[in-house]
Each structure stands twice: as C-alpha cells, then as structure tokens.
Amino acid sequence: MLIPFDDYPVHQTALPLAHAGASHPDHYDRFWFNGYTEDTYFAVALGIYPNRSVIDGAFSVVRDGVQRSVFASGPAPRDRTHTQVGPLSVEIVDPLRVNRVRVNAREHGIEADLTFTARTPACEESRHTRWSGSRAWMDATRATSLGTWSGGLKVAGKKLRLPRAVYGTKDRSWGLRPVADPAVAAPGEAETDPQVFFLWAPLNFDDRCLHFMLFEDAEGIPWARTGAVLPLLGENDPVTGGAPIREVSVRHAVRWAPGLRRSQGASLVLALPEGPQTVELEPVLTFRMSGAGYSHPDYPHGRWHGGPVVAGEDHDVDDLDGLAPEQIHVQQVVRAKWEDRTGLGVLEQLVIGPHAPSGFADLLDGALPGAVSGHPLG
C-alpha cells in the first residue's frame, strides 16, 4: 500500500512506508509534548499504531487542583502526514525545531493553539530494548528536545495567563512498546511478571539543558540509560550536526514519599571532567500520565473503539493520589538547582513490581518511610 510520503527518498527497506515493524501489533509512532510553570502543566500525546489501524491522542491540563483531559481516537489515516484526530492536531512546521498543537474541544473544556520551539538539538536516547521470553517486549528509539511554548490556552472557558515563554519538552518515539490489548504470547510461552523502573528528567536552565533517562531491572541493574548536557540552539543553528551534545554519566537518588511510588525529591550527580556536580530536584506539581492515555482504563494508547470517538474527563488531583495502577505513572514539575544555576523541568517516574534499591517487593507496595532508590551519592 502506497502513501504520499513514499515519494520522498526516506525508505529503509524494500517495503512501502505504510508497512511498519514487520507487522508487529505493538508497533507505534508517537508525538509527546509537555509544557509547565510552577502552577500549570499541560501534556499532548498523538500516536499512530499502523498495524492496529488506530490513531489516537489526548490533551491534558493540571491547574488549580484539577486535572482535565480530552481524548480522541479513530481509524488511522493512510497518509501518515495527516497528524490529526478528532479535535487534536500536531503540525510539523520546521522538522525537529517547530511544532504547532491545536485543540478545539470546547465541549470538554479545552481549547488551545500552541507553538513549540526547540531550545536544544534532539537528544537520541540509548535504544530501549527488552525481551519477554522470545518476544520483543520493547524495542524503541526516542529523541528528546527541550524548548519553549507560545500561544493561547483556554480551560473551562477561561483563558490562562501564561508567561511569555513556557518551558517544555518534545518526545518523538517509535518502535515496539506494549499498548492496549497486548499481543498474546506464543503457545507454551509463559508471560513474565511486569517489572518497570523508569526515570526521565529533561531539565531547562538559562544557558544549557540537562537530560537524564534510566531503565533498571528489579535488582537495580540498568538496561538503558542516557545522560547528556544539551547546548542551546541559536536562531540559525542547524538542528543536527551543530554544537555537540555532551554525554555524561549520572548517578541518582530518589527520595520516595512514604506509602507511595512517587518522589518527594531527588538528586542527580553528574560525572564531569571538572569534578562531580549535584543537581537537586524539588517537586512542585504532579501530573498523572493517565490523563494523556498512559494506562488509562478506558482510553489507553492503541485501543480500537469501533470508530471515531471523543471523550473528556476532569478530576480533583487529590482524588487521584494513591497506588491505583492507572495512577502510578507520573510526571512531576520540579525546581532544579545545579551549582549556581536554577531551572525548571520534570521528573517522570514509572515503577511497577519489585525494585530492590527502593525497597519495593511486590507489584504495587508503597514506599517505607525514608526509602531512597539509587546508589550512594558520597
């Protein structure tokens, strides 16, 4: 099956571009964005699941103690450049530099016309590859850019007054990742117990940015990690091949909130040539990723709903606390202190199953008082 983008010289196999990932049902290709101040957070997700014939997306806002979301899903378009579903669209204005996000869901209390402009080149994280028996459970590439937002946002009919430039992050990822209605294991092959320990921390500072990503197994052994100091892009700088991204080794310590799987602070120690430097993270606002479809009970990524559907929801954030499986995955807006720099970013956390360094032993047990993950920071 041909699509318009087949006219570009971008093929990597003998197949047309519509044929993705050797037809694996969990193949995905997704945009993710966030934007944040100390009292407001918004998130955008839009993904195509070509082997499930689904496109879906969500836009969610946390403000004044309420998390409000709109979800949309429908049949995947044949033309992959048509990145719109229901009231939500993501436009590539300038590849790897400028995107425009629009939402027209007044009936669900969200309207937006926002433009993301990258401050940094995209950081290609280490490949995320994990096996479950003989099956690939995850095999994905992600590119992370930090940037700023401009434009307008209305929530519940009220236009939000945002600073002139709002910090945020763009995440473009693709490959294999578990999505709704998971693929069935082969006959005789046992399913493995779920275990995930994931941290993701893109941090904005005035003169540079910092990015940290980590997956660990149940014993605390990393199987994918990235640490990088990112230079700022000048107006005429190339988005690739310009100022180098500086890879760094990072140690971490997450101080867990008692009874939860959510941080009440964290430290990152960077191994730099001039000596170790510590970045302290202080949470100021929490977003539950279910608001953008992650593990949502009704609108998870990649689920076929029988045709186009648009839905909305809102929750008092105090009602979303706890250890419910759909609320474990969070992003926290964090104040960041790095030597004499102060900045703002996010610390994403997804911790399911045992993780010995954190003291987690079961599927979703809460942290004991004083629990700290990571390795001694000495």
d(CA 255, CA 267): 8
d(CA 117, CA 122): 12
Buried b or exposed e, range 173-197, using 16+ CB within 10 angstroms? bbbbbbbbeebeeeeeeeeeeebbb
C-alpha dihedral sign at 151, 154, 159, 165 = negative
Q: Which of 364, 359, 361 is nearest to 374 (CA)?
A: 359
d(CA 324, CA 354): 16
353 — phi, psi (to 5°)? Answer: 80, -170
* pLDDT score of 354: 97
Using alpha carbons, list the distances in angstroms from residue 47 to 5, 324, 352, 353.
Answer: 17, 25, 23, 27
The answer to whether 46 and 100 have CB atoms below 8 angstroms apart is no
Q: 118 - beta bridge partners?
A: 147
d(CA 72, CA 70): 7
Q: Which of 15, 351, 24, 19 is nearest to 176 (CA)?
A: 24
pLDDT by residue for the chain (378 residues), tens digit each?
Answer: 787 888 788 788 788 877 887 788 899 999 999 999 999 999 999 999 999 999 999 999 999 999 999 999 999 998 888 999 999 999 999 999 999 999 999 999 999 999 999 999 999 999 999 988 777 889 999 999 999 999 999 999 999 988 888 999 999 999 999 988 766 655 555 455 679 999 999 999 999 999 999 999 999 999 999 999 999 999 889 988 888 999 999 999 999 999 999 999 999 999 999 999 999 999 999 999 999 999 999 999 999 999 999 999 999 999 987 899 999 999 999 999 999 999 999 999 999 999 999 999 999 999 999 999 976 544
* pLDDT score of 187: 56
d(CA 27, CA 16): 16
How deeply is 331 buried, as exposed, middle or buried, from its count of CB atoms within 10 A (0-12, 13-18, 19+)? buried
d(CA 215, CA 200): 9
* pLDDT score of 352: 96
The contacts of residue 285 (CB under 8 Å, 6+ apart) are 36, 38, 39, 40, 41, 62, 332, 333
Global confidence as pTM: 0.94
Question: Measured in Å, how far apart are the chain's first and last C-alpha atoms?
Answer: 57
Residue 264 half-sphere exposure toward CB, CA atoms < 13 A: 12
The answer to whether 85 and 44 have CB atoms below 8 angstroms apart is no
* pLDDT score of 346: 98
A 10 A CB-CB count for 67 gives 22
| Identity of the residue numbered 293 | G
Instruction: Give the chain's largest Cα–Cα span.
Output: 59
Q: Which of 6, 34, 62, 137 is nearest to 319 (CA)?
A: 62
May I ask the CATH architecture of the domain 27-179+193-358?
Beta Barrel (2.40)
The answer to whether 85 and 74 have CB atoms below 8 angstroms apart is yes
3-state secondary structure of 7: helix
- Dihedral Cα 19, 22, 24, 25, nearest 10 deg: 10
358 — phi, psi (to 5°)? Answer: -90, -10
A 10 A CB-CB count for 307 gives 8
Residues belonging to the chain: 378
| Identity of the residue numbered 295 | S
* pLDDT score of 378: 43
A 10 A CB-CB count for 136 gives 19
